[in-house]
């Protein structure tokens, strides 16, 4: 048995997290189709929805107007991020009771490495079930859990039996499980890549396994090694308990397109101030500023600049970044700001890699 097979990884994924918090906090919302996100009479999108709403074919990232067409009786709720963050903090405290190696992926999901856990006889199955029950009792929310010997399979497992699910993939089951799975279900393979694979006759993990590493490299470049391993149930990535915020981003979609250059600059300045405040809350300063613009025709561009000094209000820099764009000529439906090349104020450690965290 390989060293990887000795690992015990749990993936916890909260079920319909935002909607579940709303239903927990407001009894009138329980057992009702709840949609958290933008208004259906604007250009909003669905951030998440309750399982009652999902029965109508509603899903995350769907335009709210379309969600309303599918379910006119749905209750649309503006997101309450403070409430979701508070619940997330409570959940992470529960994780810490069972493992020192916890890697949060977002507010509502995380990996736990319990390979060396002493609680509950070191059983990943017992720990996962205990975490689920503790979240239910202490936070009033439902989680699904996947258990396996690596991150890739643990994450797949947590999706197998939702909601309130538990699924175990053992080292003996891993390779066969990956072989039978549709490539479109593999985390890390998006729609475009899945389509390319389908065109090559690759529909399942078993089909993918027939290709050599060299052949995969010819078709998929740098991602080839990852695909070569995951179709065999192999994933050596460790659970990283020291993940750092590598960027901070905010964006806004307008109910009506805007064209005025000064109005756009005003919105960008507001977004920048919001992003700077978020960075300051994390004791971070930034040296790279990126502006994101999506025009009325859905064409999207970004403009970035890295400075030798930390970014503050940067009015002139914003002017410079939008200088050679169609701002003032074409109407705009979305604006975004991302701060990266972050540095910890206390340690002086710089985090260079961009990793966008955005508003829902």
Active centre residues (catalytic)? 109
Burial degree of 63 (CB within 10 A; 0-12, 13-18, 19+): middle
C-alpha span between 302 and 325 (Å, rounded) = 10
Q: Residue 247's beta-bridge partner residues? A: 340
Torsion of CA 153, 158, 162, 168, to 10 degrees: 70
Q: Is the dihedral of CA 271, 277, 279, 284 positive or negative?
A: positive
| DSSP 8-state assignment for residue 45 | B
Tally of CB atoms within 10 A around 251: 16
Residue 173 tokens, joined: 């089951």
Longest dimension (CA), the chain: 66
Please answer whether residues 270 and 251 qualify as being in contact, where contact means their C-beta atoms are separated by less than 8 angstroms.
no
> What length is written for the chain?
360
Tally of CB atoms within 10 A around 32: 16
Tally of CB atoms within 10 A around 243: 12
DSSP states of 253-320: EEEEEE--HHHHHHHHHHHHHHHHHHHHHTTEEEEEEEEEEEETTS-EEEEEEE-SS--SS-HHHHHH
Q: Is the dihedral of CA 128, 129, 134, 140 positive or negative?
A: positive
| Closest among 36, 154, 168 to 105, alpha carbons compared | 154
């Amino acid at each position: 048995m390989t060293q990887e097979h000795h690992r015990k990884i749990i993936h916890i994924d909260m079920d319909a997290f935002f909607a579940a918090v709303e239903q927990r906090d407001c009894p009138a919302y329980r057992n009702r189709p709840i949609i958290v996100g933008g208004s259906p009479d604007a250009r909003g999108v669905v951030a998440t929805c309750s399982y009652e709403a999902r029965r109508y074919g509603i899903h995350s990232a769907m335009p709210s107007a379309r969600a309303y067409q599918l379910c006119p009786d749905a209750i649309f709720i503006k997101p309450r991020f403070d409430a979701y963050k508070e619940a997330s903090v409570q959940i992470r405290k529960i994780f810490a009771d069972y493992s020192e190696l916890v890697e949060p992926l977002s507010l509502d999901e995380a990996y736990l490495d319990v390979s060396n856990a002493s609680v509950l006889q070191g059983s990943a199955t017992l720990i996962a079930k205990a975490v689920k029950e503790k979240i239910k009792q202490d936070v009033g929310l439902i989680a699904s859990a996947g258990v396996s010997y690596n991150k890739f399979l643990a994450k797949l497992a947590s999706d197998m039996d939702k909601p309130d699910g538990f699924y175990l993939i053992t080292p003996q089951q891993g390779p066969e499980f990956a072989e039978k799975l549709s490539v479109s279900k593999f985390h890390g393979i998006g729609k475009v890549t899945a389509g390319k694979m389908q065109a090559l006759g690759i529909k399942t993990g078993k089909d993918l396994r027939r290709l050599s590493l060299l052949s995969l490299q010819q078709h998929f470049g740098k991602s080839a090694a990852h695909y070569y391993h995951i179709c065999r149930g192999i994933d050596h990535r460790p659970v990283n308990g020291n993940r750092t915020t590598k960027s901070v981003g905010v964006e806004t979609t307008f109910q009506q397109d805007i064209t005025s250059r000064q109005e756009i600059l005003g919105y960008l300045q507001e977004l920048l101030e919001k992003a700077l405040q978020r960075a300051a809350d994390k004791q971070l300063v930034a040296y790279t500023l990126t502006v994101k613009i999506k025009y009325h025709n859905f064409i999207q561009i970004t403009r970035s600049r890295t400075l030798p000094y930390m970014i503050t209000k940067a009015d002139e820099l914003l002017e410079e970044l939008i200088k050679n764009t169609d701002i003032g000529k074409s109407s705009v439906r979305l604006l975004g700001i991302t701060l990266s090349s972050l540095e910890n104020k206390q340690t002086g450690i710089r985090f260079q890699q961009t990793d966008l965290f955005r508003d829902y």
